[in-house]
Amino acid sequence: MSEARLLLVEDDANLREALLDTLMLAHYDCVDVGSAEEAIMALKRESFDLVISDVQMEGIGGIGLLNYLAAHQPKLPLLLMTAYATIGSAVSAIKLGAVDYLAKPFAPQVLLNQVSRYLPTKLNTDKPVVADDKSLALLALAQRVAVSDASVMIMGPSGSGKEVMARYIHNHSKRAGEAFVAINCAAIPENMLEATLFGYEKGAFTGAYQACPGKFEQAQGGTLLLDEISEMDLALQAKLLRVLQEREVERLGGRKTIKLDVRVLATSNRDLKSMAAAGTFREDLYYRINVFPLTWPALCQRPADILPLARHLVVKHAEACQLAAMPELDESACRRLLAHRWPGNVRELDNVVQRALILHQGDAITAADIIIDAQDVLFDAEADEAVTLKPAEVDGLGDELKAQEHVIILETLNLCQGSRKLVAEKLGISARTLRYKMAKMRDMGIQLPG
């Protein structure tokens, strides 16, 4: 999930909802408002990483908002959206400080490309904290691999630290001074991933009014991380393989080949080798990216990492919240942390530490401040049975619930003859939530009544 927070300013409610769907499906955290004045109020209340605003709106409009940002938050990037006829004013807006403009109408991938291009990358500056022998050996290996230019495949369960490892490899390579570009193959809708990776030329598809470089080009000279590569569809895998073999890329709709000097790292929490054997992942691509495999064990298999990691996370979050005193983990808290199985790995530990920092009193974090999800407590208490529960069974339950939700939405849509407003009222959810759920259903290929 992207941690980026976006502010969307658009007075056309229908367009705003459609843009919101696109941004939320790509996992952006988004606040939407209908005018520049409301945007200023939101900017005073909360912090954002990027603003996307229409130019022509009642009141001070997009240019007024641009002036406000120039005076009060000059570092916050603003992306303008404008009707084709008013591109002239958008160009002058860029001179005034907007980072770019999108000419309406534009395709969803154009929006996502521009957003990912101008969003300041929040660098995960975490260095891998390791103390367990297994992790120390892995890190020593990673350091040796880093100096070569080999492709590295980083595996391990979700939340185990694969991205942290990828950055470590980049930072210890000769490319350290160059770009590190990460793309989460699971977060970008399938039909947009190709344009995002390879870029496109003006006119490549409806709405592509401007040429845009892809992630490969953005990573030129540096490192490209293909996060969750197992989620890429087979057709795109074939195109990726060609780019990796030829070491050159051609933008969508382009004729020019661009030579690449990019080191590729990839991560997966699935067993790619079995996927390759089952034909759901290309075997030739598997061997190309798997030149050097590194695998993080689950956190419970490297117990000596737990306390050093917890202490590191206490310091990290306490500093971020500017806590006056740095709390220590007392003995009871340490015992509690060591007793848990951490199915969510370091990410789960991170959440537990953040909760503990909110709850603790005085200068110590005690066992009472270590709140582990109810489900996980069950997992601890019934460890033996829980271990035998295969992930597929857990997923199955989730899928079944989702399927039931889809059926209910479809039935209610039919009952209300397609009226979104009535459906939302009947189901007791907001119109926005309904739109989001419907967009997700459409994305899964479910036909919805018009």
Ligand X SMILES: Nc1ncnc2c1ncn2[C@@H]1O[C@H](COP(=O)(O)OP(=O)(O)OP(=O)(O)O)[C@@H](O)[C@H]1O
**Minimum CB distance to ligand X smaller for 306 or for 438:** 306
Give the C-alpha separation, 197 to 224, whole Å: 10
Residue 317 vs residues 2, 18, 44, 64, 216: alpha-carbon distances, Å? 19, 36, 24, 36, 33
- 27, 270, 311, 347: residue in contact with ligand X (rule CB under 6 A): 347
Residue 336 Cβ vs ligand X, minimum distance, rounded to whole Å: 19
Instruction: Supply φ then ψ for residue 280, to 5 degrees.
Output: -95, -5
Q: Is 298 in the site for ligand X (CB under 6 A)?
A: no
Beta-carbon contacts of residue 404 (< 8 Å; ≥ 6 apart): none
**Minimum CB distance to ligand X smaller for 81 or for 152:** 152
Q: Is 77 in the site for ligand X (CB under 6 A)?
A: no
Q: Is 343 in the site for ligand X (CB under 6 A)?
A: no
**Minimum CB distance to ligand X smaller for 13 or for 321:** 321
**Minimum CB distance to ligand X smaller for 107 or for 145:** 145
- 77, 161, 214, 343: residue in contact with ligand X (rule CB under 6 A): 161
Tokens 């829980």 sit on residue: 386
**Minimum CB distance to ligand X smaller for 126 or for 201:** 126
Beta-carbon contacts of residue 109 (< 8 Å; ≥ 6 apart): 191, 192, 195, 196, 200, 205
Residue 306 Cβ vs ligand X, minimum distance, rounded to whole Å: 11
Q: Is 129 in the site for ligand X (CB under 6 A)?
A: yes
Q: Is 81 in the site for ligand X (CB under 6 A)?
A: no
Q: Is 336 in the site for ligand X (CB under 6 A)?
A: no
Tokens 């399938």 sit on residue: 190
- 346, 357, 372, 413: residue in contact with ligand X (rule CB under 6 A): 346
What is the token pair recorded at 263? Answer: 């080191």
Q: Is 164 in the site for ligand X (CB under 6 A)?
A: yes
- 159, 199, 214, 327: residue in contact with ligand X (rule CB under 6 A): 159
Q: Is 223 in the site for ligand X (CB under 6 A)?
A: no
- 163, 194, 217, 369: residue in contact with ligand X (rule CB under 6 A): 163
**Minimum CB distance to ligand X smaller for 138 or for 334:** 138
Inter-residue contact 79 to 118 (CB < 8 Å)? yes
Residue 135 Cβ vs ligand X, minimum distance, rounded to whole Å: 7
Stretch near ligand X under the rule CB under 6 A, chosen from 43-51, 331-339, 344-352, 429-437: 344-352
Stretch near ligand X under the rule CB under 6 A, chosen from 127-135, 389-397, 404-412, 441-449: 127-135
- 35, 160, 223, 230: residue in contact with ligand X (rule CB under 6 A): 160
Stretch near ligand X under the rule CB under 6 A, chosen from 156-164, 200-208, 210-218, 430-438: 156-164
Give the C-alpha separation, 346 to 109, whole Å: 32
- 104, 162, 302, 336: residue in contact with ligand X (rule CB under 6 A): 162
- 29, 126, 380, 425: residue in contact with ligand X (rule CB under 6 A): 126
Q: Is 269 in the site for ligand X (CB under 6 A)?
A: yes
Residue, CB closest to ligand X = 161
**Minimum CB distance to ligand X smaller for 6 or for 226:** 226
Residue 342 Cβ vs ligand X, minimum distance, rounded to whole Å: 11
Q: Is 158 in the site for ligand X (CB under 6 A)?
A: yes
- 156, 199, 214, 343: residue in contact with ligand X (rule CB under 6 A): 156
- 92, 124, 143, 414: residue in contact with ligand X (rule CB under 6 A): 124
Name the residues that contact ligand X, by CB under 6 A: 124, 126, 128-130, 156, 158-164, 267, 269, 309, 312, 346-347, 350
